[in-house]
Structure 1
């Protein structure tokens, strides 16, 4: 049975990017009204398309005040907030020795502090709506390490799992469920632009399913976790990596080669 999101209002951060855009499109197809947050104004316009029920906001999700104001506007315009999907994130390919404190702070703010700000901002609206669902996009790096990014990214995405568990515990009595998804090798436009041909060809050989996954294949588990079909799921995480976590960890030669160019 297809999830029915009719009457629901969902905020999707990173809405101009691959996973965010795919998630928003899927939620709309299932009846939800969507608010897209991103720093990329042109990308937001493209992601929203001609859907009159989709609203957009240019938001720096690392700015707690801006996040609170944007979420308040969503509730004012659309009447409620039922779902939050934290997709916005990113990293830098740096070794420990080559990571300035400012870069560490920036990556942790984007991947860990921002989801905290968003959860904190939407929780009152979800209480007023009678409950809600939060899904934060972490990474397979939370269980292993990141091939494409440095320790700041691995640490922040690991922290997302702790935030997910703790928020799930605190918000359970408000009927707000909090979960995470952990994508592995997903071929988003951002990924396609930053990897070389060797990596593009090598990753499928490590993945048991034998290919890169698509943003739509991450959006579908997000929809599930936000739907009534997952009403008993909170404080957990779902790995979406084509089976990569089964084995084939990042080898040291590849890790350092990506940081020496």
Structure 2
């Protein structure tokens, strides 16, 4: 059985941490990443996994991180980019959208996947095997409940990038898929959003979900475990909605 090396980013959030935990439990050598700082070190310590810090919106930082991972832990052939989110922003009218805020959200949600893929794909091509998973959102398929223009646009862009990478890389044995989670209480931003709905809004949201429950980070991790597996070699270019069914 081949032991694969996985890089999972965005592990300070609940979804990234759950994916890293699941892949490690399934036998992969997992390295985790997020922005440099105590939050990454604490999260990696809780997970018991090695960490490599980087600003994923900076191509040089990404290249340096991937080189270090390759040197210290082996060549990664699985990438799960769970870094993303709203960067502590809230919805605003169109007229108030700030260019810096717009580009900040694109940097972590779209640029990061481009830079990580550029750094990791050459080795995957050489090996003839690789798995890339992006974490998009229902906001990549329809308007976002957050009301944040940049977030919706960035997640739609990430869906497009996922499909384009799949077309280019499939012939090299590299699959590229995206998971679009439904509403999951996985970090402070989603909890603030949930609280802002109030009891009636929360009830309405639950009623729209076929399974009548919110998802968990472990639901997303289970999907990631499958589409990064050997068995999923003929699944690529897909956007897998893991949302309990949404009306």
Is residue 88 from structure 1 mapped to residue 83 from structure 2 by the alignment? yes
Aligned residue pairs, count: 240
Q: In 1, are the aligned partners of 2:80 and 2:132 still within 8 Å (CA)?
A: yes
Q: SS in structure 2 opposite 1:145?
A: coil
Taking the aligned partners of 1:30 and 1:41, their CA distance within structure 2 comes to 28
What's the CA shift string for 1:115-145, capped at 9, x where partnerless?
1111111101222333100000000111111
Taking the aligned partners of 2:244 and 2:15, their CA distance within structure 1 comes to 16
1:258 is aligned to: none
Taking the aligned partners of 2:202 and 2:109, their CA distance within structure 1 comes to 24
Taking the aligned partners of 2:119 and 2:22, their CA distance within structure 1 comes to 24
Q: In 2, are the aligned partners of 1:96 and 1:150 still within 8 Å (CA)?
A: no
1:59 is aligned to: 54
Structure 2's unaligned 5+ residue stretches are none
CA RMSD of aligned residues (A): 1.8
Q: 1:50 to 1:192 in 2, by over 3 A?
A: closer
Is residue 72 from structure 1 mapped to residue 70 from structure 2 by the alignment? no
What's the CA shift string for 1:49-86, capped at 9, x where partnerless?
3776x321221110111011101111111121110001
1:241 is aligned to: 243
Taking the aligned partners of 1:50 and 1:97, their CA distance within structure 2 comes to 42
- Which piece of structure 1 moves more, 187-196 or 114-123? 187-196
Is residue 183 from structure 1 mapped to residue 190 from structure 2 by the alignment? no
Q: SS in structure 2 opposite 1:21?
A: helix
Q: 1:213 to 1:50 in 2, by over 3 A?
A: closer
1:259 is aligned to: none
- Which piece of structure 1 moves more, 194-203 or 70-79? 194-203
Q: SS in structure 2 opposite 1:161?
A: helix
Is residue 166 from structure 1 mapped to residue 161 from structure 2 by the alignment? no
Is residue 195 from structure 1 mapped to residue 191 from structure 2 by the alignment? no
CA drift at 1:94:
2.5
Taking the aligned partners of 1:44 and 1:227, their CA distance within structure 2 comes to 26
Query: What TM-score do you get using the length of structure 1 for normalisation?
Result: 0.86
1:38 is aligned to: 34
Q: In 1, are the aligned partners of 2:17 and 2:47 still within 8 Å (CA)?
A: no
Query: What TM-score do you get using the length of structure 2 for normalisation?
Result: 0.91
